Amino acid sequence: MNLHRYPELVDRLAAEFVIGTLRGGARRRLQRYADHDPAIRRALQDWERRLAPIAELGPAATPPTRVWQAIEEQLGFAARRQLESRAAEAARPTPPVLPERRPWFESLSFWRGWAIGVTALAAIAFVLVVRSILPLSPTQPTPPTVAQQPENEISHVAVLDNKEAQAVMLISWDAVHAKVKLHRLTDAAPPAGRSMQLWGLPVNGHPVSLGVMPDHGDATMPAGEQQPQQYPVLAVSIEPSGGSPNPDGPTGPVVFTGKLLPVS
């Protein structure tokens, strides 16, 4: 099958692959395609880049005991321990036979150490992503101490999608310092002579402007007295240069939307 004839299918498969919902034979086939096809490999990398900032939403989790038990059963450790126990009982009172030395790659401690190492690398990667999105203020030569107030205390985030359900922006809301951080996931920009404006959509009432966005790059906008709990949904509209002339809502088309969710 020539996947290049179906670019929308390639994009959807790449998204499901990165999210983890593409499984079984379909996942293995797409992986084989990606190993030999730069275009498909690039589609996977694009979705990994888009979803990487959302890692800050993921809470820390400790694998339950049953996971380690399942690993031991799959590697045959439980059956081996039973055999060793029976052999030891049968050998009494004769001197015990030294157990066979297991290869390092069959050691449960090796796999546990490997899992811990991967977790540490993931944590380091997460810190690098967060720092790239929320850099320290240039006026601070060193990171804040325990006694100082953190510069960023993100309470809510939203991933804004376009009409094709593609993630284009990440919005981080710092309620403590009353500011909204915009991070572009694509090169989305308004038409010449127009502006993009961010809106908070309350459950009841008219939309509330959260600020006119820059044409390119990331930005931090003051939130004033607005609170993220007031707006379950955020939206971006295309407006005349400088923003909507109507204070009660957009006058141009709404191009991006997304739910505003609490971090914890």
Coil, strand or helix: which one is 175? coil
Domain limits, the chain: 3-57, 156-262
- What pLDDT sits at residue 102? 55
Kindly report, residue by residue over 231-258, the tens digit of the pLDDT: 999 999 999 999 999 988 999 999 999 9
Where is pLDDT greater, at 101 or 33? 33
Q: Which of these ranges, 71-80, 123-132, 235-244, has the smallest mean pLDDT?
A: 123-132
Return the ∠ at Cα 137 (arms to 136 and 143), rounded to 5°. Answer: 50
Burial bucket for residue 15 (CB in 10 Å: 0-12, 13-18, 19+): buried
Is the domain spanning 156-262 CATH 2.60.40.200? The answer is yes
Return the ∠ at Cα 56 (arms to 54 and 60), rounded to 5°. Answer: 125
Query: Could you give the CA distance from residue 85 to residue 83 in angstroms, rounded to a whole number?
Result: 5
